[in-house]
Amino acid sequence: MPTNGDFMRYKDSHVPEQDLMLAADGELPHRRAAQVQAHLAACWSCRTRMKEIESAIADFIHWHRASDPELPPADGPRALLKARLAQMAAEPHPPRWFGRVRSAMMWTRPAYIGAVILGLVLVGVIAHRVVADRTNEPRESAGWLFPRRDLVLPDHRLTPGATVRLSTEELCSAGDVDRSHTVDASLARETFRLYGIRPQPGAYEVDYLITPALGGADDVRNLWPQPYSTGIWNSRHKDALEDHLQQLVCTNRLSLAIAQHDIAANWIAAYKKYFQTEVPIPEHVAFVKDQAWRD
């Protein structure tokens, strides 16, 4: 811990990394905290370093809260981060990389703080996924808190698509079949379970990969939890594509088999292909056909 003489020396230089971290966590003695704050007020470089530290801690807390279903208070993940760093430092033979990172942190490389945090996060995520993959069990997701952006397209291992045997004439003579097909609640819950999601009401639509209007089946292999209205691509754009493809099929401008294949393979690529655009059409943001899941 620095002495008062150390504070006098860095009055005209910079605050040590350790003191910035203690200040960010509110653990400096009152007098030293006041000295650090006085220095920060006059030193642009140290203010920048302090913001990086606070941002790194905030990012770690946000990630931890998003991945913990019990939503612990902020002190929990903050203490967890400190404990993990301290544990590595106390090991008889810590990893070589940790010694280099710790040395860098104590000098003038605050970016390494973010690297340490990112490393801890990545190790945890990778380990969790490896265990889940080996046991063939669905992974628990933070999707209960906010929509998972990676689900703008389905996981084709879980949702390859499934169809029923119907001719184009049978489909097109059935009218607006899509509106008469509400996903069964038990199928919807099974879909969320397979994707490892406990959804927040209104965040997702349990969507058919191949819409019933194009012969899609009421089968869990044809369902996935699609972000309802968030993100650049969401359920509203897919609904617009579904209607457009149905019109093309029923006016004999597109074969049913090709429509089914294209929407199942990659509905965003199909959207770009059939609407001849690389970006979502603004009017489709307001295209509301199906309802979000609210059970």
For residue 224, the SS3 value is strand
**Other beta carbons less than 10 A from residue 271's beta carbon:** 26
Between CA 103 and CA 118 the distance in angstroms is 17
Between CA 207 and CA 292 the distance in angstroms is 9
The answer to whether the CB of 80 falls within 8 A of the CB of 61 is no
Same domain, 157 and 119: no
Tokens of 191: 């879909």
Between CA 289 and CA 243 the distance in angstroms is 10
Output the pLDDT for position 114: 57
Q: Label residue 295 by pLDDT band (50, 70, 90).
A: low
Q: Kindly report, residue by residue over 75-103, the tens digit of the pLDDT.
A: 444 555 555 555 555 555 555 545 544 54
Same domain, 220 and 239: yes
Give the residue among 225, 245, 221 at the shortest CA–CA distance from 235: 225
Same domain, 227 and 110: no
Same domain, 153 and 282: yes
Among residues 135, 170, 186, the one where a domain terminates is 135
Tokens of 52: 């990086």
Across-strand partners of 163? Answer: 216
Among residues 113, 135, 157, the one where a domain terminates is 135
Q: Is residue 291 part of a domain?
A: no
Kindly state the helix (H) or strand (E) to which residue 225 belongs, with its residue range: strand 223-227
**Residues 149-173, mean pLDDT to the nearest whole number:** 87
Most confident of 5-9, 111-115, 146-150: 111-115
264 or 293, which is more confident = 264
Same domain, 153 and 266: yes
Same domain, 128 and 221: no
Total of domains in the chain: 2
For residue 162, the SS3 value is coil
> Domain residues for 273?
142-286
Among residues 100, 117, 135, the one where a domain terminates is 135
Q: Is residue 156 part of a domain?
A: yes
Q: What percent of the chain has pLDDT over 70?
A: 58
Tokens of 275: 């609407």
CB burial of 79-107 (b: ≥16 within 10 Å; e: otherwise) equals: ebbeeebeebeeeeeeeeeeeebbebbee
Output the pLDDT for position 80: 54
Whole-number average pLDDT of the chain: 73
Same domain, 189 and 106: no
Q: Kindly report, residue by residue over 125-143, the tens digit of the pLDDT.
A: 554 444 444 444 444 444 3
Output the pLDDT for position 183: 86
**234: pLDDT strictly greater than 50:** yes
Between CA 156 and CA 161 the distance in angstroms is 8
DSSP per-residue codes, 168-223: HHHHHTT-SGGGG-PPPHHHHHHHHHHTT--PPTTSEEEEESS-GGGTB-SSGGGE
Q: Is residue 14 part of a domain?
A: yes
Q: Kindly report, residue by residue over 32-78, the tens digit of the pLDDT.
A: 877 888 888 888 888 888 777 777 666 655 555 555 444 444 444 45
**Other beta carbons less than 10 A from residue 284's beta carbon:** 17
**148: pLDDT strictly greater than 80:** no
